[in-house]
Amino acid sequence: MQIYLIEGKLEYRLPFMNNLSKDLSKDKRCLLISFKRNTSLNLEDIYDMEGMITYDICDHFLNYVSLENVINKADKNIDFIIAPLLEDKYEIKKDDINKLIEDLSCYDYLIFDNLAKNMIENKKTITIVSDEDINKKIDADYFFIEAEDGFDERIVRNEILEKSSKFLGVKRKNEDYIDIINNLKDDKKADIEKLSFIEKIKMKFKK
C-alpha cells in the first residue's frame, strides 16, 4: 500500500487528488479521505455528489457505524470517505489513523487530505505551491507549482533546486497533471532547463 498526503491551497488539492486517483485507479484500488471539512469544496463535490446523505469518518471513530458504512463509491476502483460534518465532532488521534490504515489494507493507494504530518507514518507528502510562494519553505517529499500560463520555471530554477523536496514540475492553468503524476509514480525529478545567455541579457534590459 502507498499512502499520499496532499498539502496546499484547497483549490489546488482537490483537483489534483481527483486526477491522481483517476490515474492510479486504472488498475489498482484507491481510497480518498478528508479529515477536515472545507467551507466551499469537499470530496463529495468533486464527484458530483454534493448534498449526499452519508456517514463521515468520525462516525466510524466514535463506533457509531462500521467502516464499510462510511465508504462511498465514486468509480469502479475509487472510493472516498467524507470529512466530519461538524468541526468539533471528535478529536482524531494518531492511534485512530494507524488502526484505520490497517483496516484499509485492501486498497493499493490511500490519498489523505487535511491531516497533520505527525499523525501518520510511512507516507509520501506532496505540497502544491503557487508560483508566488516558491521562496517559502517546503517540508515535503515532493512538490509542484500551480501557475498561470506564462510562468517560466527557468527564471526560478535556482530557488527550485535549493529545495530538499523533489520537484515534480509545473501545472499551468490550461494544462493537465499527466507529467506531474508520471514523475510522482516514477519517483523522478522534473528537468529544468537553464536560461540561455541571450535570454538572461534580454531579461536584464526588460527591468
Q: Write out pLDDT tens, residues 56-79.
A: 999 999 999 999 999 999 999 999
* pLDDT band per the 50, 70, 90 thresholds, residue 206: low
Pairing of strands 78-81, 30-34: parallel
pTM score, two decimals? 0.90
Share of the chain above pLDDT 70, in %: 94
Residue 202 has what pLDDT? Answer: 60
Residue 171 has what pLDDT? Answer: 96
Is residue 52's pLDDT more than 80?
Answer: no
Determine the topology of domain 2-206 in CATH: Rossmann fold (3.40.50)
Q: In what order do the strands lie in the sheet with 30-34?
A: 72-75, 78-81, 30-34, 109-113, 2-8, 124-130, 142-147, 166-172
CA dist., res. 92 & res. 23, Å (int): 29
Pairing of strands 124-130, 2-8: parallel
pLDDT higher at 143 or 86: 143
- Measured from the Cβ of residue 53, the count of other Cβ atoms closer than 10 Å reads 4
